[in-house]
Amino acid sequence: MKQQMGRNRKVDRVIVNTVKNMVTAGTKDAIIASAFDISVATVQNIKRTDYNYGKYRKLVNNQMMAWKETRNAKTNNFDRVTNVVAPIAADLTRLEEKIDLLLSKFNSVFPNTE
């Protein structure tokens, strides 16, 4: 089976077991990560789950779900802000028109004598 390259490279049981052996041997996380072309965070996640592949997959799936929820929340908040800002902009335009009208009336009553 061909390993997927790049950001979403798949970690399998062999990689988890080899990482465990390398950590036990005292290899630094950065060296392990470069050996498998994975991130240091992935090595730390493998260690955090006690080198249990099932726990590792569950952790990664939960992280991905949390990131998607965060991304969706940001998108939804942007839409909400846009829906709030548009009426405020319209109100500000009407307010500006009323201020201009009041200023013109004020200037007609109290003309500038300079």
DSSP letters, 32-60, are HHHHHT--HHHHHHHHHTTT-HHHHHHHH
Quickly state the pLDDT bin for 113 (edges 50, 70, 90). Answer: low
In contact, 60 and 71? CB cutoff 8 Å: no
| pLDDT tens-digit readout, 35-52 | 998 999 999 999 999 999
Residue 81 has pLDDT above 70, yes or no: no
At residue 75, the pLDDT reads: 66
In contact, 33 and 45? CB cutoff 8 Å: no
Q: Domain map of the chain by residue range?
A: 13-109
* The Cα angle at residue 13 between residues 49 and 27, in degrees rounded to 5: 65
The pTM of the whole model exceeds 0.75:
no
Residue 82 has pLDDT above 80, yes or no: no
- Token pair, residue 91, equals 């109100």
Task: Provide the sign of the torsion angle of the four alpha carbons 35, 36, 38, 42, taken in this order.
Answer: negative
